[in-house]
Structure 1
Amino acid sequence: MKRILTYLLLLCISLTGYAQQNIEEQVYLHLNATDLIVGEALYFSSYTTSQVTGQLSGLSSLLYVELLDEEGNPVHQTKIAQKQGRGAGKIFLSTDLVTGRYQLVAYTRWMRNFNSYYSQSVTIVNPYKTYQNGVYEEEVIYDVNFEVEGGFWPQGKEANVLLHIKDQYGRAQQPKARILAKGGEKVVDVEWDAYGFAEVTLDATSVVDYQLAIETESAFRFIDLPKPCNSCTGLSVERDPLTGDYQVQVTSTSDLSNQLGYLEIWDQTGKIQGMPTTLNTNTLLVSADLPAGKLTVKLLVGGAVQNTRVFWNGKREAISQVVLPQMSKKEKVTRVLDYPVGSTLSVSVKKVYGYDQPESSAAYRIVPMKYRGLSLSSDALSGDLLDRMMWLSRSVDIESDSIQMVKYLPEYRSGVVQGVVTSSSKLVDKNVNVALSFQSSDMEIDATSVSDSGVFFLKYNPDFANEKGVVRVLNDPTGDYQATIYQEYNEAYAPLSVMPLVFDTIRIEQVAQRSIANQIENAYYVVDTVPSATRPYPVVDEMISYVLADYTRFPSMRDTFIELVYQVGVSKNENKFAFNMRIVDLPFSDKLDVETMVLLDGASSTAEDVLKLSPYLVERIDVMNKRFFIGDVMFDGIISIVTYEHDGGDTEPVGESLSLSEVQPESEIVTTALPTEKAPMFNDMLYWNPLIYTDSSNATVEFFTSNVTGIFEIQIEGVDKAGNAISETSRFEVK
């Protein structure tokens, strides 16, 4: 018991350490398409990486994926197994779905501690249901964000303020706007760039109250801008356009001018430079001495961080794009993937219809979440634009505020069921025990004691969990305790702010052609039956089995126990329902009140349910009449009833019901091969391989074109061993 409690304590300390070191995970999903019709499958390949290093994370073995409608309600929920941060799955789009914009989200259990998840917009069209074109709102609703460079603006100094404006659909706007001083005097006109950003310099030597005035169709909208502070420091980073080097300027109010500070430069691996500074000085950073990419400057005073400025160093390489020659129908295509050894990739080949919005892994890594709706092309992501995005995303820091406690443990090697036990009449402490079990042919069980606050963590093998699970408080015959189970998936999402979906005649014709081709393909599709995970029925040492077919059938389970199972005492009184396990090898002085584990087809049950069960439904009775432990929980033996159908007969498992979604079967490779029979070959997805590992300097992808003509795109996504994102697209035409 002490060893187990010590392990749990060390685990909690370790997990708190993860949080304090900002070992956060992030997820990227490579999708086969983002514009689909019902009857098709949405395939995805997952990359779960460390936000710090970019390398694949082995912390979470399960990934949760949800498809949400425009109101933020889940229409499909699933989960996949991951190995070292990699997994794959699919969602079949049924005809129950309506035409509209959807959101695909994905996250690990550990990411829920940081309210973090991956998100990608997906369009789904149902040509079998009537759809009315969406209507744009005539009035533009502006969403404005602004940030003082470095976070604070010292009184009596100048400060740079970055503004960003977009509409209710997430599109960048460029309205007429100006900065006003107190009293309405114009200071400067605001010049927005094509992506809705604008930078202004404000002076606090004389004016301290500024407003942003935006001209709308009917009136002006006034927004108060930040005010200078009376005792603080400022931090700015300015890039020299000629040399590419950086001037880091530190300013402060007069009361702090004689103090000393310390500048630190951080990249994704940690601190790379550090130097002392006064609080009113400039420091030169040579670009060539700094790693390329996202960097953070921190100003520390008295050992505490006062200001931060996230910026982008260097130029960003564009995503590689290759143009391939023309192809004919049913022609073989071979593509060599020349990437570093140890890389892991996913490859999709699909026809381009012009409405997809694929998101590369490289772009996903560097563009903050709130700017991914700006329809940024690969070429648009210049160093200056990225720098502005980083500036306005100051809170996304390499060393964000540590958290002292985590609510959700990571699912490192198994699934986790978590909850809390409460009681209105009794004390809840570590002497209260709970058990998890599932009704099936497999004995998937676990038990644990709760914490002093009633919280419990139960583990399970995802391959053998199902919707017939229960969590039961042990040794609680009067029902004084209540177990509340935390939800498996996120509980709420905000409605989507998306542009209305409008169809023109060209797109309607495309949808009609795709729908016909999809119906033909599905008519020839052969479903491969994937067997469920199985394992031999667990053999417990010294368990005795009574196969009832080997004995005379008695009219009741009560008679069966009395006549056959001598290890268990059962009253002849038809109104008494109790099992008295005759435990062996216990000293006479042992008077502990220990519960006997009673299972019916693997799930927790009661003596009453078992004794009322028809013996003609039962295949066998397994009994072990020795004391044993599951974790730190002690049981006086096991009574396990196994029916022929493994469905519990006409009874339900006892405890708080728990419905866990099943883990998807192992991912599949989809490819077009020349058929031996005259199949139609109207598929517009020619190839999908979600899990490719380069154990040599290159790998080869081979597939055939189909009878579908047009432009096709090969999209390659991945990550190398060092954590660098891989993104490449190429196109070819089939005539």
Structure 2
Amino acid sequence: MNSFLGKVSKVSFLFGWLLWAILLCPETKAQEKRAVQNAGWLQQLPTNFKAFTEAQNPDKVYLHTDRAFYVAGDTIWYKAYLMDAYSWKPGGAEEVINVSILNAAQKEIVKQKVLARAGYAVAQLILPDSLPSGNYTLVAYTNWMRNAGGKSFFRKAITILNTYGSPDEAGGLKAQVPENNPVDLQFFPEGGGLVSGVTSIVGFSAKNAAGFGVPVEGKIMDGTGKVVTAFKAYHAGIGNFVFKPEAHKTYYAVINGLGSDSKRFDLPVPQEKGLVLHIDNASDNVTVRVTGTPDKANAKQVLLIQSRGAVYFSDEVLLNSNAEAELKMLKTGFPDGIAHAALFNAEGVAEAERLFFINNRQQLNLKLTTNKQTYGRRELVTVNLEATDNTGKPVRSEFSIAVTDMGQNASLSSNPNLPAYLLLSSELKAFVEDAGYYFKNSSTATSMALDNLLLTQRWHRFTWAQINGAETYKPVFKRENGLHLKGEALNKEGQPLQKAVIYLLDLKSGKTDLVSTNEEGLFLVTLSEKASEPQYLYQVWQQGIFQKQAQLKFLSDSDALSEISQGFFAATTDTLVSTRLLLQTRIAKQFASADKKPETVVSDHAAWMNIPADRNYQLSKYNNFHDVEEAVREIIPSVKIRNYNGDTETRIFNVAAKKYFPYQPLYFIDGKPTYNNDLVLRMSADQVQEINVYLSSNSLKQFGFLGNQGVIAIRTKKGNFNLPESENQNIVSINGVVQALEFNIPKLAPRSTVLPDFRPVLYWNPRVTTDANGRAVFTFPTSDAATRFRIEAQGISADGLPGAGTAEFSTMPAQ
């Protein structure tokens, strides 16, 4: 083994992310050769890779939702899992996760932010009741994940039904596929290309216009029209065939059943010289076979195999006089997931590459058992959850549980569970149809289908120039360990206010903050982790001048969603399920509202309402005044009112400076802030109970920065004054971190005493924790529906073992 290979074999944390990035950045062979003319390139490669990979440190996000089929106005209950992309261990530091819903045109229609702690976040998303029926995409990502592009974002297909139309309209969720639906047939030779005179396995994928597999079969023919071999799709339009291409010949495929004038699909043109990389992992070993053209006899190659960010094999491969070589290695030496083999020549050019799958069953086993198989309506169900690792040892961890009515929830098979997502979907750029199929069992047929899938996912060429040319990786997007919102301060003409000072007052908590703008008028606000939808009153000052008409505009990062692949498709549902939902949804909502727990209401009475005033004036002690202006002029000597250039101005006497403040004070009416002099001064005095004036340093410091010009607080007799909508010009609302609500589980009650119950989700609990014996018990009542129900549990252990389990039970019809 040479020095380069010795160094490579010692690297324990390399190559993962960057090899994937390389797959997505093809360049010409000439460019590759120019990039490796540096004699020290191979020796420097491991160091460059290690530095790059450690700096990249990618994340993965997964959302477990209560279901995938909703009605407009429903609530999506979900748990977010934030994990290291390589080890799959849940994250430690707090980090913000962005959650969005995109419509079929990839337009963002709903967005929220959740704060993950120790790798978990629990929240809910309320769907607008105005959403039209259709297929949507649920997307989740961190700001750090934007460095890897939209391909790394979590995506889940959901269907939303609007039940306010007729059954025919609401149930019309049909696949939008042209009547003359074309088939796209693509070929993927194993190793990267066909080589003349070398037998090759060729993967193929047949999809319709909607992106779903088509079960095709047909013939491979040479340029003379002679049939060479036949092919037939195995699963989801994917399969393979074996043949040996001849030199100076071309090949094409025709699909049976399309007639003699059917479209021809060309195969790649065979190369005159080259190598074929074949991998067989059907047994306990991984067998690697390299076969080349005669010019490759006795040639030396370098074989690298990496998985999940680490190199697990690196060694020379010496071809014999027949240009052949074979190596074997144990599967147990690799982690579960997709492994990536690359074969390089002495110049460092990648001549062949192949993806294959390792499944050592390194997962959690989740066993769900109910105390009965069949229940009556509104009967209590008891479920036992048992979690063990792949060796049978109990696992103490936290799991998310959903129990759904199978009759009301269409099965969107394109959505993988947590293990399938980590092992497969999140590792591939292309959309994976029915990802859960590849993990339903360990049969030979399922393993063959998975190998065929990976055979069709690798067809881009490598380039190593980026690695050699980049000394360090410099991420553009930083981690958000708290909620930081970028905004822009504008003057009344819409121009940026540069180097301005912004005072913010949280109208719910009473807390104040101060931020400043840069040369572009941009600023950054850090929100409290408990600020779900904060409202701020703001003042903008520039060079000591109060900018009364300044506006704050918060900027969106929705441009990140433009990177989402257009090739991601939601499944469709049938009219039967849609009609059933149409008839049952309103009843279910009535039941939920009748039994709903009272929500916690945040009081509008902020802390400053209880601050003792420097001057207090009870208007009941005085003769009747016409309005507040008259009252102020007559009984409050520390407040001066004057008319200046047609405007009414109010100033409070500054006790500390022994002169009036230069700008108008901040007003509060029943705790609601405003800067509108006319609104306050024209209020009828009959409405007002008291006027409080704050003018000393001790009292004004309670209001933070916004008390810098004094404060006048008015309390009305009714205490519920509402500012007109037009008075909210200095108030800005922000979408903060979503706070988790509790899923409502109705109390067990006789059917005759409450409304009918046809809830689509009987139970949602994102925090079911197993004990030291790996066990947990939970209960819930059934509904009035006579149908089958599905229990689904998902989760991950502290050391990165994912798991999922399901169980079903039935309810009997009414007697």
Q: TM exceeds 0.5?
A: yes
> What residue in structure 1 maps to residue 386 of structure 2?
338
Aligned-partner SS, 2:449: helix
Please report the TM-score for the alignment, with normalisation by the length of structure 2: 0.67
Alignment partner for residue 328 of structure 1, among 375, 380, 405?
375
Q: Is the 8 A contact 1:230 1:253 kept in 2?
A: no
Query: Are positions 1:528 and 2:612 aligned together?
Result: no
Alignment partner for residue 660 of structure 1, among 708, 725, 734?
734
Q: Cα–Cα, structure 1 residues 333 and 501, in superposed 2: closer, same or farther, change >3 Å?
A: closer
> What residue in structure 1 maps to residue 234 of structure 2?
193
Partners of 2:650 and 2:542 lie apart in 1 by 13
Alignment partner for residue 575 of structure 2, among 495, 503, 506?
503
> What residue in structure 2 maps to residue 440 of structure 1?
507
Alignment partner for residue 340 of structure 2, among 296, 299, 320?
296
Cα deviation, residue 707, structure 1:
4.0
Please report the TM-score for the alignment, with normalisation by the length of structure 1: 0.74
Structure 2 counterparts to residues 138-537 of structure 1, below 5 A: 138-151=179-192, 160-181=201-222, 187-200=228-241, 206-207=247-248, 210-214=251-255, 217=258, 219-226=261-268, 236-239=277-280, 241-242=282-283, 244-247=285-288, 249=290, 261=302, 263-268=303-308, 270-277=310-317, 281-299=325-343, 306=350, 308-314=353-359, 324=370, 325-329=372-376, 330-339=378-387, 340-353=394-407, 355-357=410-412, 359-368=416-425, 370-374=430-434, 376-377=436-437, 378-379=439-440, 382-394=446-458, 406=475, 408-413=477-482, 415-419=483-487, 432-433=499-500, 435=502, 437=504, 440-443=507-510, 446-448=513-515, 456-461=523-528, 463-464=530-531, 466=533, 468=535, 475=542, 485-487=554-556, 489=558, 497=569, 501-504=573-576, 507=577, 510-511=580-581, 514-515=584-585, 517-518=587-588, 521-522=591-592, 524-532=594-602, 537=607
Greater CA deviation, 479-488 or 432-441? 479-488
For residues 59-85 of structure 1, give each alpha carbon's deviation from its aligned partner in whole angstroms, at most 9, with x where no partner exists. 564444444444445554444443323
> What residue in structure 2 maps to residue 691 of structure 1?
767
> What residue in structure 1 maps to residue 27 of structure 2?
none
Q: Cα–Cα, structure 1 residues 192 and 246, in superposed 2: closer, same or farther, change >3 Å?
A: same
Alignment partner for residue 118 of structure 1, among 144, 155, 162?
155
Cα deviation, residue 526, structure 1:
3.1
Cα deviation, residue 345, structure 1:
0.6
Cα deviation, residue 90, structure 1:
3.5
Unaligned residue ranges in structure 1 (runs of 5+): 1-15, 586-593
For residues 381-435 of structure 1, give each alpha carbon's deviation from its aligned partner in whole angstroms, at most 9, with x where no partner exists. 73333333344445999x999995555543313x121256899x99999x73564
> What residue in structure 1 maps to residue 753 of structure 2?
678
Aligned-partner SS, 1:464: coil
Aligned-partner SS, 2:232: coil
Cα deviation, residue 723, structure 1:
1.7
Structure 2 counterparts to residues 560-575 of structure 1, below 5 A: 573=644
Structure 1 or 2, whichever has the larger Rg, is: 2
Partners of 1:271 and 1:99 lie apart in 2 by 47
Cα deviation, residue 37, structure 1:
4.6
Cα deviation, residue 247, structure 1:
0.9
Q: Cα–Cα, structure 1 residues 662 and 123, in superposed 2: closer, same or farther, change >3 Å?
A: same
Cα deviation, residue 176, structure 1:
4.0
For residues 579-620 of structure 1, give each alpha carbon's deviation from its aligned partner in whole angstroms, at most 9, with x where no partner exists. 8998999xxxxxxxx999989899998798999897988976
Q: Is the 8 A contact 1:323 1:732 kept in 2?
A: no
Aligned-partner SS, 2:803: strand
Q: Is the 8 A contact 2:218 2:255 kept in 1?
A: yes
RMSD: 5.6
Partners of 1:409 and 1:615 lie apart in 2 by 53
Q: Is the 8 A contact 1:176 1:215 kept in 2?
A: yes
Q: Cα–Cα, structure 1 residues 18 and 288, in superposed 2: closer, same or farther, change >3 Å?
A: closer
**Aligned amino acid, residue 34 of structure 1:** A
Cα deviation, residue 312, structure 1:
0.7
Query: Are positions 1:48 and 2:82 aligned together?
Result: yes
Cα deviation, residue 661, structure 1:
3.0
Q: Cα–Cα, structure 1 residues 181 and 416, in superposed 2: closer, same or farther, change >3 Å?
A: farther
> What residue in structure 2 maps to residue 719 of structure 1?
796
For residues 409-466 of structure 1, give each alpha carbon's deviation from its aligned partner in whole angstroms, at most 9, with x where no partner exists. 43313x121256899x99999x735647466243455555566777653321253364
Cα deviation, residue 701, structure 1:
0.7
Q: Sequence identity, in percent?
A: 15
For residues 475-519 of structure 1, give each alpha carbon's deviation from its aligned partner in whole angstroms, at most 9, with x where no partner exists. 277999998643255666759855665425xx5774466347526
Greater CA deviation, 347-356 or 615-624? 615-624
> What residue in structure 1 maps to residue 778 of structure 2?
701
Q: Cα–Cα, structure 1 residues 547 and 294, in superposed 2: closer, same or farther, change >3 Å?
A: farther
Partners of 1:450 and 1:150 lie apart in 2 by 54
Aligned-partner SS, 1:668: coil
Aligned-partner SS, 1:687: strand
Greater CA deviation, 720-729 or 152-161? 152-161
Cα deviation, residue 271, structure 1:
3.1
**Aligned amino acid, residue 660 of structure 1:** I
Q: Cα–Cα, structure 1 residues 291 and 98, in superposed 2: closer, same or farther, change >3 Å?
A: closer
Partners of 1:533 and 1:406 lie apart in 2 by 42
Greater CA deviation, 159-168 or 667-676? 667-676
**Aligned amino acid, residue 749 of structure 2:** P
**Aligned amino acid, residue 480 of structure 2:** E
Aligned-partner SS, 1:700: strand
> How many equivalent residue pairs?
695
Q: Is the 8 A contact 2:417 2:804 kept in 1?
A: yes
